[in-house]
Amino acid sequence: IPHAQIFEGSSGSGSLALAISYASELLKINASSPEDTERKCNALAHPDLHFIFPVATTSSVKKHPISDLFLEQWRSFILENPFRDYFDWLTYIGAEKKQGQIGVDESQALLQKMSLKAYEGGYKVVIIWCADRLNISASNKLLKLVEEPPEKTVFILVTGSEERLISTIRSRCQLLTIPSLDKTSSK
C-alpha cells in the first residue's frame, strides 16, 4: 500500500467519499473487531482516522484555527453530504467571506498526532481534504512526514488540482484520478 496518495477529482466526483471508504478498509486490516471499526469509520470517529481540511477564523475560533477545533462541524458536514465542496464548507462554518487554508499550525498538530502509536495497533490514516489549500509552510512540514512516514501510516491527499501541490510532495505520492460522476447515468 503506498504511504502517500493523491485522490484528484473535480467537485462532486466523490473523491472524498472514496478516500473515506478506502481509509475504512485500511483500518479494518488487523482490527480485532472489523464491525466496530467500520461503525467508527462510518461515524468519522475512528481514533486512527485523522482529517485535515481548510479552516479560517470564525466567531467561535478567533485565532490559530486548526481542523481539530472544527471536527464536530466537519463530521456533521460530511455525514450530511460527502459530495460538498470547499465553498460549501466555508459557508457551513460561517467563514464564507474568508479564505480557508491549511496552515503551519495544522502541520504542527499533525506531527504530534503522528508521533503517537496507532490506537488499534494497525494503520493510521490521514485524509487531507482540499490539499491544494496547504500554504507553503504547512506543505514543507508535511513534506518531512511524507518523506519519512511513521510505520503503517497512510496519507491521502484529496484535491481538485494536484498541480497546485508543491512538486516535492507530488513526486512522493501515487496519483489516482477520479473521474466525474455522470449525473445522467442510470447504471
Residue 183 has a pLDDT of 59
Residue 81 has a pLDDT of 92
Residue 185 pLDDT > 50: no
Partners of 157 in beta bridges = 6, 128
Q: How many CA atoms lie within 13 A of 87 on its CB side?
A: 3
Instruction: State pLDDT tens for residues 28-53.
Output: 887 778 788 888 877 888 999 999 99
A 10 A CB-CB count for 13 gives 19
Residue 174 has a pLDDT of 94
The pTM of this model reads 0.92
Residue 146 has a pLDDT of 92
Q: Which of 50, 72, 51 is nearest to 61 (CA)?
A: 72
Instruction: State pLDDT tens for residues 90-128.
Output: 999 999 889 999 999 999 999 999 988 888 878 999 999
Cell 500500500 found at:
1
The C-alpha atoms of residue 95 and residue 118 are separated, in whole angstroms, by 33
Residue 52 has a pLDDT of 96
Instruction: State pLDDT tens for residues 137-169.
Output: 999 999 989 998 989 999 999 999 999 999 999
Do residues 147 and 176 lie in contact, with contact meaning Cβ atoms separated by under 8 Å? no
The C-alpha atoms of residue 135 and residue 98 are separated, in whole angstroms, by 15
Q: Which of 110, 128, 141 is nearest to 54 (CA)?
A: 128
| Interval 170-180 mean pLDDT | 92
Residue 187 has a pLDDT of 45
| Interval 63-72 mean pLDDT | 93
Residue 181 pLDDT > 90: no
